[in-house]
Chains A and B, each alone.
Chain A
Amino acid sequence: MEIFDNLALGFSVAVTFQNIFYCFIGVLLGTLIGVLPGLGPVPTIAMLLPITFGLPPVSALIMLSGIYYGAQYGGSTTAILINLPGESSSVVTAIDGYQMARRGRAGAALATAALGSFFAGSVATFLLAVFAPPLADLALKFGPPEYFALMVLGLVASVALASGSVIKALAMVVLGILLGLSGQDVYTGTPRFTFDMLELADGIEFVALAMGVFGIGEIVRNLEDEHTRTVMVQKVKGLLLSREDIKRITGPILRGTFLGSFLGILPGGGAILSSFAAYSIEKKISRHPEEFGKGAIEAVAAPESANNAGAQTSFIPMLTLGIPSNPVMALMIGALIIQGIVPGPNVVNEQPNLFWGIIASMWIGNLMLVVLNLPLIGMWVRLLTVPYHILFPLIVGFCCIGVYSVNNNAIDVFAMALFGVVGYVLVKLDCEPAPLLLGFIIGPMLEEYLRRAMLISRGDPLVFVTRPISATMLALAAIALIVVLLPSVRRKREEAFKE
Chain B
Amino acid sequence: MKNFKGAAAAVAALALALAVLPFSAAKAQDFPNRPVTMVVPFSAGGPTDTVARLVAESMSRTLGQQVVVENVGGAGGTRGAGQVAKAAPDGYTVLLHHIGQATAATLYRKLPYNVLTDFEEVGLVTDVPMTMIAKPDLAPKDAAELIAFVKQNRDGVIYGNAGVGSASHLCGMLFMSALGAQMTTVPYQGTGPAMNDLVGGQIDLMCDQTTNTTGQIKAGKVKAYAVTTKQRVKSLPDLPTFQEVGLPGFEVAVWHGMYAPKGTPPEVVTKLNDALKTALQDPKVIARFADLGTEPVALDRATPEVHKQFLQAEVAKWKPVIEQAGVFAD
Q: Do chains A and B touch in the complex (CB under 8 A)?
A: yes
Interface residues, chain A, CB within 8 Å of chain B? 42-43, 45-46, 49-50, 53, 139-144, 184, 186-191, 196, 198-199, 201-202, 267-268, 317, 321-325, 327, 329-335, 337-338, 340-347, 407-409, 448, 452, 455-456, 458
CA gap between A321 and B73 in the complex, in Å: 26
Looking at the complex, which of B9-17, B158-166, B253-261, B309-317 is the stretch in contact with chain A?
B158-166
Asked whether B44 lies within 8 Å of A42 as measured between CB atoms, the reply is yes
CA gap between A321 and B198 in the complex, in Å: 12
User: Closest CB of chain A to B191's CB: distance in Å?
Assistant: 8
Asked whether A345 lies within 8 Å of B45 as measured between CB atoms, the reply is no
CA gap between A188 and B327 in the complex, in Å: 7
Q: Give which listed residue, A140, A189, A343, A345, contacts B164 with CB less than 8 A.
A: A189
B78 at the interface (CB under 8 A from A): yes
CA gap between A202 and B194 in the complex, in Å: 19
What residues of chain B lie closer than 8 Å to A268, measured between beta carbons? 193, 196
B299 at the interface (CB under 8 A from A): no
CA gap between A327 and B53 in the complex, in Å: 17
Least CB separation from A141: chain B residue: B200
CA gap between A485 and B258 in the complex, in Å: 58
Asked whether B215 lies within 8 Å of A344 as measured between CB atoms, the reply is yes
B30 at the interface (CB under 8 A from A): no
What residues of chain A lie closer than 8 Å to B288, measured between beta carbons? 337-338, 340
Asked whether B199 lies within 8 Å of A140 as measured between CB atoms, the reply is yes
B142 at the interface (CB under 8 A from A): no
What residues of chain B lie closer than 8 Å to A330, measured between beta carbons? 43-46, 190, 192
Least CB separation from A326: chain B residue: B192
Q: Give which listed residue, B72, B73, B192, B328, contacts A323 with CB less than 8 A.
A: B192
CA gap between A176 and B316 in the complex, in Å: 42
Looking at the complex, which of B170-178, B216-224, B270-278 is the stretch in contact with chain A?
B216-224
Using A186-B188, A189-B164, A456-B186 as known contacts, say yes or no to A337 and B79 having CB atoms under 8 A apart: no
CA gap between A408 and B314 in the complex, in Å: 30
By size class, the interface of chain B is 35 or more
B246 at the interface (CB under 8 A from A): no
What residues of chain B lie closer than 8 Å to A341, measured between beta carbons? 291
B110 at the interface (CB under 8 A from A): yes
B107 at the interface (CB under 8 A from A): yes
What residues of chain A lie closer than 8 Å to B49, measured between beta carbons? 46, 334
Interface residues in B74-105 by Cβ distance below 8 A to A read: 74-76, 78-79, 82
Least CB separation from B110: chain A residue: A196
What residues of chain B lie closer than 8 Å to A201, measured between beta carbons? 74-76, 78-79
The listed residue with most A CB atoms (<10 A of its CB), out of B82, B193, B203, B327, is B193
Asked whether B218 lies within 8 Å of A338 as measured between CB atoms, the reply is no
Least CB separation from A327: chain B residue: B43
The listed residue with most A CB atoms (<10 A of its CB), out of B107, B214, B219, is B219
User: Closest CB of chain B to A111's CB: distance in Å?
Assistant: 34
The listed residue with most B CB atoms (<10 A of its CB), out of A188, A198, A325, A452, is A198
The listed residue with most A CB atoms (<10 A of its CB), out of B53, B75, B214, is B75
What residues of chain B lie closer than 8 Å to A46, measured between beta carbons? 44-45, 49, 69, 71
What residues of chain B lie closer than 8 Å to A187, measured between beta carbons? 187
Least CB separation from B189: chain A residue: A186
What residues of chain A lie closer than 8 Å to B203, measured between beta carbons? 456
Asked whether A346 lies within 8 Å of B46 as measured between CB atoms, the reply is no
Using A334-B44, A342-B218 as known contacts, say yes or no to A267 and B193 having CB atoms under 8 A apart: yes
What residues of chain A lie closer than 8 Å to B218, measured between beta carbons? 342, 344, 346
What residues of chain B lie closer than 8 Å to A343, measured between beta carbons? 215
What residues of chain B lie closer than 8 Å to A325, measured between beta carbons? 192
CA gap between A330 and B107 in the complex, in Å: 26
CA gap between A341 and B76 in the complex, in Å: 27
**21 A-B pairs whose Cβ atoms sit less than 8 Å apart in the complex:** A50-B53, A50-B57, A144-B197, A144-B202, A186-B187, A189-B328, A317-B196, A321-B199, A329-B192, A330-B44, A330-B45, A331-B44, A334-B46, A334-B53, A340-B291, A342-B291, A346-B215, A448-B189, A452-B186, A455-B184, A456-B202
CA gap between A45 and B193 in the complex, in Å: 21
CA gap between A342 and B210 in the complex, in Å: 10
CA gap between A347 and B216 in the complex, in Å: 11
The listed residue with most A CB atoms (<10 A of its CB), out of B187, B197, B215, is B215
Asked whether B74 lies within 8 Å of A202 as measured between CB atoms, the reply is yes
Asked whether B163 lies within 8 Å of A186 as measured between CB atoms, the reply is yes
Q: Give which listed residue, B44, B56, B291, B329, contacts A189 with CB less than 8 A.
A: B329
What residues of chain A lie closer than 8 Å to B78, measured between beta carbons? 198, 201
What residues of chain A lie closer than 8 Å to B266, measured between beta carbons? none
CA gap between A342 and B215 in the complex, in Å: 6
CA gap between A456 and B135 in the complex, in Å: 14
Asked whether B82 lies within 8 Å of A198 as measured between CB atoms, the reply is yes
Asked whether B158 lies within 8 Å of A456 as measured between CB atoms, the reply is yes
CA gap between A220 and B112 in the complex, in Å: 38
Asked whether B45 lies within 8 Å of A199 as measured between CB atoms, the reply is no
CA gap between A316 and B217 in the complex, in Å: 19
Asked whether B107 lies within 8 Å of A189 as measured between CB atoms, the reply is yes
User: Closest CB of chain B to A463's CB: distance in Å?
Assistant: 11
CA gap between A342 and B44 in the complex, in Å: 17
What residues of chain B lie closer than 8 Å to A190, measured between beta carbons? 330
What residues of chain B lie closer than 8 Å to A43, measured between beta carbons? 44, 71
Q: Give which listed residue, B47, B75, B328, contacts A202 with CB less than 8 A.
A: B75
CA gap between A325 and B193 in the complex, in Å: 7
Asked whether B219 lies within 8 Å of A346 as measured between CB atoms, the reply is yes
What residues of chain A lie closer than 8 Å to B193, measured between beta carbons? 267-268
Asked whether A189 lies within 8 Å of B330 as measured between CB atoms, the reply is yes
User: Closest CB of chain B to A273's CB: distance in Å?
Assistant: 16
CA gap between A329 and B110 in the complex, in Å: 34
User: Closest CB of chain A to B49's CB: distance in Å?
Assistant: 6
Having A143-B197, A327-B43, one finds 15 other A-B pairs with CB under 8 Å, namely A144-B197, A186-B187, A198-B82, A201-B76, A322-B215, A323-B192, A330-B43, A335-B45, A338-B53, A338-B288, A344-B215, A345-B215, A346-B219, A455-B158, A456-B202
Q: Give which listed residue, A267, A338, A344, contacts B216 with CB less than 8 A.
A: A344
Asked whether A342 lies within 8 Å of B43 as measured between CB atoms, the reply is no
What residues of chain A lie closer than 8 Å to B190, measured between beta carbons? 330
B268 at the interface (CB under 8 A from A): no
Q: Give which listed residue, B44, B46, B82, B196, contacts A140 with CB less than 8 A.
A: B196
B54 at the interface (CB under 8 A from A): yes
B50 at the interface (CB under 8 A from A): yes
User: Closest CB of chain B to A355's CB: distance in Å?
Assistant: 14
CA gap between A198 and B329 in the complex, in Å: 11
Q: Give which listed residue, A196, A199, A267, A408, contacts B196 with CB less than 8 A.
A: A267
B287 at the interface (CB under 8 A from A): yes
